[in-house]
Structure 1
Amino acid sequence: MAWIYLLLGGVFEVGFTTCLRYTDGFKNLTWTGGFAVCALLSFLFLEVATRTIPLGTGYAVWTGIGALGTVVIGMVWFGEPSTPIRILLILGLVACVAGLKLTSGH
């Protein structure tokens, strides 16, 4: 169950980074609220997950999920470059996150 919490935390991390793009210096209250809710949930799920998963592994996987999701959102919705080297590096990140999960012993 801890891995599901960690995955949810990563998904909410993608939510708060995406909302952050629209906060306009935290003047847009709707997006600022979305940012705050997603950030709170993201950290909450990370905290719950790391009660069972080793902290270093949990944090690395959480940031990996967030980074991967944020890069994909950037490429799909915000027109950021999707060059072959970027795709290769993203796949490397996925491999590292999977490796951490496989070697965590949980």
Structure 2
Amino acid sequence: MRVALHSVLKEGQESGYEQVHATVPEDLLEALRRAGITNWRIWRSGRHLFHLVDCEDFPAAMAALDKDPANQRWQEFIGAYVDHFEDTGGSPAESERMALGEVWELSTQTGAAEHG
């Protein structure tokens, strides 16, 4: 499963956010792996961050991370940089409200056209 997220940085924290992500703590990397996350990429445009998360089960991964001390420490630390994650207004589950809805994918369309 691949999930896209959108968060917004606090004013003036753009370069600091990138600096702290130059080397993410090893215990956080291990927590992400334990939660079933195989990859997490982040792009930035101004104060807006766009995340692409690869995992088996996003709600389960987020629930596991919520309980993990390494992630709790990271969230407390990174809160100085991140203002908020956008709420997409989806399901009542917080992790599902964070996920952006997919609009279009080239490979899906071209694959359907080739087989249809």
Classify the TM-score, shorter chain: under 0.3
Pair member with larger Rg: 2
TM-score, length basis structure 1: 0.25
